[in-house]
A and B are shown apart, each in its own frame.
Chain A
Amino acid sequence: MLELNNLTVHYGHKRVVHDVSLSLAPGQTLGLAGESGSGKSTVAMSVLRLLPRSARVEGEVLLDGEDVAAMSWGRLRAVRWASASIVFQGAMHSLNPVHRVGEQIAEPMRLHGTPGRVTELLEQVELPRDKARAYPHELSGGQKQRVMIAMALACGPRLVVADEPTTALDVVVQEQVLALMTRLVAEQDLGLLMISHDLSVLARTCEDIAVMQGGELVERGRTREVIANPRHPHTAALTAAFPVIGDPAHRWSDPAPAPEPLLRVRDLVVDYGRTRAVDGVDLTIGRGEIVALVGQSGSGKTTLARTIMGLRAPSSGRVIFDGVEVGRGSRAIKAFRRQVQLVLQDPSSALNPRHTVFDAVAEGLRVHGVPGDHEALVTAAVERAELRPASLYLDALPHELSGGQQQRVVIAGALVLQPRLLLADEPVASLDASVRGEIVALLLRLRAELGLASLLITHDLGLAWQIADRVAVMHQGKIVEQGPVGQVLLTPSHDYTRALLRAVPQV
């Protein structure tokens, strides 16, 4: 049904895909794994000839035996969506914000003259009929991804390409979406080409897996075999990068003995209008301790973190840092914030694209009016974040750095103020598997060298298993369970914790 023969794609002089050959029969499911820049999305886009004009494509892309590159525009438009459709990554941006989703699902049906009804498609993806009238921003991430799937099935294609369909979703929703896709693919006997950086997601859905690195296909085989006996070192690295909960080999730190408390949150309540986002939370973080706060999106973890930072006033309750209650006055909050620094999920949007590394790191010093030699302080912080030698990086702009380097710059910006607590909101979620390990190791080394405590906000239970001393599970604004990592993740006592653990895809 789909056949790629020696596909090579150049952007200018840069070769992003090199000599890739793949084939997919009807009813077959193939996972394409690889890190960012491995060329996997370029392969996906080449199936429907959706690459930008600047791309130079060599080799053949055969869709039902017909070369996509040789098709006339009219023929290509007729084939698009009718023979093969795509579930794009990031449903938030892949749906048009000003059109109702029902209208967007119906659009290709009208265009290709496919009979059928939007409501039936919505039922297939388990969405209520009245969601057809909703605009994308009125839907949750999982619902939007379901709309994308309904849209992809609208014209009854035989091949569906799914490009990172669950990347932005939390584990529970991800599991629901994956289960839905698996069911629909089996029911309708579709061919599925699924692209992901996450091997465990592919293992959950695909019979076969192909691994790409630097534009080349390095391994292909039955999923079980590829994961159990990877032949290529890159595949082995990808498999190893995702921690297996419960495996002592993936536990990177020993739990510290109960330390003195550094931050105490007492009976904290935060209301958004009539919604109670944080409901009576008690949480303690010890000196040098790494506490993972886990839960789904919407569970209130981010609100809790923002309130601890003083970015939001609590409705009631107290935050006590180092034995002193954090005041509400702007000066008290400023002094407190110097000791508590934030590391955000996506470094590319956390950094100002026009600020050099030096500017980005030195900004905190300027804001807090720290005396002394800023250049020396910045250099020290950048080197602490393991960008060595610092002189190579200080004048760089964010776009000249890789994702992992950008995240190190963000961390350096936090370190330069010599904080005692890091609030890290999904610090590795947007990073590739190989980089992820380095950043995790960095956080651990900072703890060992500087005694830096961390509150790790994440929906990634594997990350919690890797480095946290204690885990607190948050659900609907409440902390439903907390305790040492082994206890919470291996012998969970709350149903919600068990549900979270069940949703984690296993390699």
Chain B
Amino acid sequence: MRLAGRFGGAALSLLMVAVLGFFLFRVVPGDPVVSMTRGRPVTAEMQAALRAQFGLDRPLHEQFWTYLTSLLRGDLGTSFTFRRPVAEVILDRVGPTVLLVGTATLIAVLLGLWLGVRAAWRRDSAFDRVTTGVSLTLWAVPTFWLGMLLMMVTGDLFPSRGMRDTDTAPDLLSQALDVGHHLVLPSLTLVAVVCAEYALVMRSSLLEEMHAPYLTTARAKGLRDDLVRRRHAVPNAVLPAITLVFLRFGLVVAGAITTETVFSWPGLGLLFHDALTGPDYFLLQGLLVVTAGAVVVMNLLADLLHGVLDPRVGVV
């Protein structure tokens, strides 16, 4: 029952995302065809032809119906700038983003939670003060600025543009090393920003558990301090942090927009940037649906995982 409710809720959110995606770009002031072709020599006939091609000349409800049915088939329309189906364009870029965001999130979660736990357990120690101070600073810093700073500081140590060099040997190892080398700076930028937040949340969440009576019970049993922490405090304190990790996934993707733009990383973020400068409405619409859908799915996963980790939430 609960499970059905969760899935139902997620399905409803996905539908809302689809509807929002459609209307968001229909309510933009001005004619999309005009703004898409701005600065190019086009005649009125060419514009009319474009309108017909995109179906923009038909009534709104008809457009919506076509949009919904083709969305269900996985057809997100055709990109104006790339002259290819939006779904294909997006699919090409998913890999690099998953690589970047996945690596950064994984490192940020492990590092952030570890830092948060250590800081809270030794509250007001030098470690705590430094961690909290640095975290707050990193959290407040604009991502693009941090990226550019890292670029300048590291000089020529790491490549700062793109995902691979053109002259790398074609064998798998060299390619992987090259991608890894390119990955360092963008993922470092993303980790710095995301990790700070996880550390702060984990810290405050553990601080709330620090005076829980069950920790006194654990100490009275004769457990070592680190066992009290690992076995009793952290499993309780990590619950809100886990929810946050998944909830903030959407923001990580958003953070990837600036990071990917700064480092010309050929992922969804850079694609977002390109689609905006177009502006390429169908591409934007497709990106919105795909990323928002990913966030909804991540939320669903967070809910399910919370149910597994916290027996009080009930059977999942």
Bin the interface of chain B by size: 20 to 34
Flag if B213 contacts A88 (CB, 8 Å). Answer: yes
In the bound complex, CA of A135 to CA of B236 (Å): 14
Flag if A80 contacts B219 (CB, 8 Å). Answer: yes
Interface status of A231 (Cβ within 8 A of chain B): no
Flag if A80 contacts B214 (CB, 8 Å). Answer: no
* Inter-chain contacts of A112 with B (CB < 8 A): 222
Other-chain contact of A77, B224, B236, B309, B311 (Cβ < 8 Å):
B224
Other-chain contact of B220, A85, A93, A99 (Cβ < 8 Å):
A85
Name the residue on B nearest A82 (C-beta): B222
Interface status of B136 (Cβ within 8 A of chain A): no
CB distance from A302 to the nearest CB of B (A): 21
- The tally of residues in A whose CB lies under 8 Å from a CB in B reads 28
Flag if A107 contacts B311 (CB, 8 Å). Answer: no
Counting residue pairs across A and B whose Cβ atoms lie within 8 Å, the total is 71
* Inter-chain contacts of A85 with B (CB < 8 A): 220-221
* A98-B309 contact in complex given A88-B213, A90-B213, A93-B213, C-beta closer than 8 Å: yes
Interface status of B52 (Cβ within 8 A of chain A): no
0/1 interface trace, chain B 205-216, chain A, CB 8 Å (1 if under):
000000011101
Overall SS of chain B's interface: helix
Interface status of B217 (Cβ within 8 A of chain A): yes
Interface status of B235 (Cβ within 8 A of chain A): yes
* A96-B216 contact in complex given A77-B223, A135-B311, C-beta closer than 8 Å: no
CB distance from B212 to the nearest CB of A (A): 7
Interface status of B312 (Cβ within 8 A of chain A): yes
0/1 interface trace, chain A 70-101, chain B, CB 8 Å (1 if under):
00000011111110011010100111111100
In the bound complex, CA of A80 to CA of B221 (Å): 6
Interface status of A364 (Cβ within 8 A of chain B): no
Chain B residues at the A interface, C-beta cutoff of 8 Å? 212-214, 216-224, 231-232, 235-236, 309-312
Q: Across the A-B interface, give the 6 residue pairs with the lowest CB-CB distance, nearest first.
A: A80-B222, A108-B221, A135-B311, A77-B222, A93-B213, A96-B214
Flag if B223 contacts A111 (CB, 8 Å). Answer: yes
In the bound complex, CA of A448 to CA of B311 (Å): 50
Name the residue on A nearest B216 (C-beta): A50
Flag if A81 contacts B222 (CB, 8 Å). Answer: yes
In the bound complex, CA of A32 to CA of B126 (Å): 41
Give 22 pairs: A residue, B residue, CB < 8 Å, sorted on A: A77-B222, A77-B223, A77-B224, A79-B222, A80-B219, A80-B220, A80-B221, A81-B220, A81-B222, A82-B222, A85-B220, A93-B212, A94-B213, A94-B214, A95-B217, A96-B232, A97-B310, A98-B311, A99-B235, A107-B221, A111-B222, A151-B217
In the bound complex, CA of A137 to CA of B231 (Å): 18
